[in-house]
Amino acid sequence: MLDLIRANAQSWGVKIAFGIIILVFVFWGVGGLTGGPSTVILTVNGEPITIQEFQRKYEQLEQQVRAQYPDLDAAGLKAMQLKQQLIQNLILENLITQEAERVGIVVTPVELRKLIESFPAFHNEEGKFDPDAYVRMIKAQRNTPGNFEAELRNNMLMNKLRADVTAGAFVPEAEVRDLFRYEGERRILEYVFYPLEDYTSKVTVDDAQIKDYYEANQASFTVPPQADVEYLLIGAEALAAAQNISDAAVSEYYEKNAAQFATPEMVRARHILILSDAKASAEDQAKAKAKIEEIAQRIKAGEDFGTVAKEVSEDPGSAPQGGELGWFAHDQMVPEFDKASFALNPGELSEPVKTQFGWHLIQLEEKKAAGQKPLDEVKDQIRTRLAQDEASGKVQEALEQVQLAVIGGKSLKEAGEPLKLAPQETGLVNTTELTEKMGIKPENLPALLAAKPGTVLDTPFVTKTGYVIAKVNESKPQTVKPLDAVKDDIKARLQQDKARTLAFEAANAERKTFTADLPKELQGKLKKTEPVGRQGYMGELGMNTELAKAAFTAKVNDWLPVAYTLDGGAAIARVAEVVTPSDEDWKTAAPQITDAVLNAKREQMFRGFLSLLRSNAKIELKNETILAD
């Protein structure tokens, strides 16, 4: 099709027709979704969920899944049943919103704004909330501030409702302690090991076996398809270079947004921490305070703060750096620490300060007064921001301009020059690297891989930041490595498998020769593990969940009845000792374990509450076709 259009590129009819094609490409699927009952997918207690809402959230969900699983193909995506999952989530969101409204739970604008301003992604270089960065970030995710804030408000409502519903959750100490003992119990095993190396020389692998393995495991030897693609990225960030932002516009922005460039009062400090849990006994807290007071006397007597911090501080993050915390502003530390730090002058040492973490000594190193960054320091940053904002409204126009130039026979380099866009090249890479480098979706790959070398694809690909016009320089189909290339690897694998089988058979045969006492000829080979847990990791024996399961049901000194296959061979084993958590271990871990169990119980309570809401709700599906894959 592109060749036919290119041949008649100077025709005004072609240019008009192409403009229509672009409009259809850009707006397809939007104009037909407004108005009428067909826009409602389902209702929850009479409240509608629309196609627009579903499609927007489905696109976000799909992007998240593809970011997490870059190699996921269309079949894998379909198997995940994302549409069905999303429908269930939308139903729950509506039920939560309705219930929150019924019981009078609200999220105030102040609460919402405070949460949004706390997200680092929306901060400028000074660590302050930047409205422009907020809007740009939301737009980059193909969202709008209104939609984002509605979703955030729903999450906050759910958290408030969860807190109300689960306020009465309680776990007895005995229940938590039993769980702690169960999870914390360890076993020490004695074992006789039968290493692969002792049996490798006893096995043979012939060419027929190698060939059979190769033919039965072709998927293990495939080389994925590859392509070398030249491409032009058309998006706000890429187009920013072509925007002419005047000095007057930069100055105007600086004056109107002076608060963004304010620098807060900041200090640079060191600290020494002696841990003391708020729930600790009065005696333990007194000991911690006495210890910090003793340390303070050492520093006042002339010892170097940094040297003492490395020796005694119990803050693992700062102790190795001599207690150095770097620069921080107000409200970046807990209130007590904040107040004490900013009250000091450079070089001064604080009195002991109590916080939720324990007792601190603080030494102030430097202090900066609040101020304003000069325009000269931030003008380039402002110019870039204004250029990107201006370019964001010109993406569609630039896309049309580039496509018309390519249809007219120009190269990607020539098509991009008026817009100061330079083509990039992937090099010959596999499909995973193609999607990463170009920012395209996996479903775009078949079109790329099917194109003949030298072809500029008719349709641009949509990315998170704009569009991509692609030209395929070279492509290679998926192939299977020839047998000769993998023959040695297969032989080594088969030798290991056979040697492991011989090791297991030898171990099992010797295990059958005794019941209680290990034969004398094996006693010299007896080894012992470190304490091992229920998860299955057995130290130098590697991972074996079946061996761990058997060890935690066996009696001490009883040999397990069978041998076990391991990565490095095989073994016979018995439990030599049971190690249970001590009272001191329990005392240390109790707060964290109790919180974890309590949170799990709260989650269980809330799930039960949501199930009750769901069972009592009236849910009507209005449009089943949207769920079809």
Rg (CA), the chain: 33
511 assigned to some structural domain = yes
What's the CA gap between 552 and 181, in Å, rounded? 13
627 assigned to some structural domain = no
548 assigned to some structural domain = yes
**Could you tell me if 466 and 499 lie in one domain?**
no
Crossing angle of helices 375-392 and 247-256, in 10° steps, is 100
Amino acid symbol at 558: D
149, 502, 505, 525 from 513: Cα distances, Å: 71, 17, 13, 16
In terms of residue numbers, what domain contains 572? 186-219+485-579
SS (H, E, C) 433-444: HHHHHHCCCHHH
What's the CA gap between 157 and 612, in Å, rounded? 18
SS (H, E, C) 33-45: HCCCHHHEEEEEC
Q: Which of 430, 449, 477 corresponds to the end of one domain?
A: 477
556 assigned to some structural domain = yes
What's the CA gap between 250 and 257, in Å, rounded? 11
What total of structural domains would you count in the chain?
Answer: 3
301 assigned to some structural domain = yes
Given 3-state DSSP classes, what are the helix, strand and coil percentages for the chain, each rounded to the nearest 5? 55, 20, 30
555 assigned to some structural domain = yes
267, 327, 587 from 581: Cα distances, Å: 44, 42, 10
What does 19-71 look like in DSSP terms, one character per residue? Answer: HHHHHHHHHTTTGGGSSSGGGEEEEETTEEEEHHHHHHHHHHHHHHHHHH-TT
Q: Which of 433, 456, 477 corresponds to the end of one domain?
A: 477
Q: What is the pTM of this model?
A: 0.53
Residue ranges in the chain whose pLDDT is less than 50: 1-38
CATH number of the domain within which 470 lies: 3.10.50
CATH number of the domain within which 324 lies: 3.10.50.40
**Could you tell me if 418 and 506 lie in one domain?**
no
Give me the torsion for CA of 464, 465, 466, 470, rounded to 10°: -80
- pLDDT over 90 for what percent of the chain? 41
**Could you tell me if 511 and 570 lie in one domain?**
yes
Identify the pLDDT of residue 458: 77
Identify the pLDDT of residue 331: 79
| Chain CA centroid to CA 494, Å | 38
**Could you tell me if 505 and 563 lie in one domain?**
yes
**Residue 278 CA neighbour count, 13 Å, CB half:** 4
What's the CA gap between 554 and 544, in Å, rounded? 16
**Could you tell me if 460 and 528 lie in one domain?**
no
348 assigned to some structural domain = yes
**Could you tell me if 468 and 505 lie in one domain?**
no
**Could you tell me if 496 and 567 lie in one domain?**
yes
**Could you tell me if 445 and 529 lie in one domain?**
no
110 assigned to some structural domain = no
**Could you tell me if 465 and 434 lie in one domain?**
yes
**Could you tell me if 287 and 357 lie in one domain?**
yes
- Positive or negative torsion for Cα 512, 516, 520, 522: positive
Decide: 211 and 482 in contact? Cβ < 8 Å. Answer: no
Q: Which of 422, 452, 477 corresponds to the end of one domain?
A: 477
**Could you tell me if 415 and 467 lie in one domain?**
yes
**Could you tell me if 355 and 395 lie in one domain?**
no
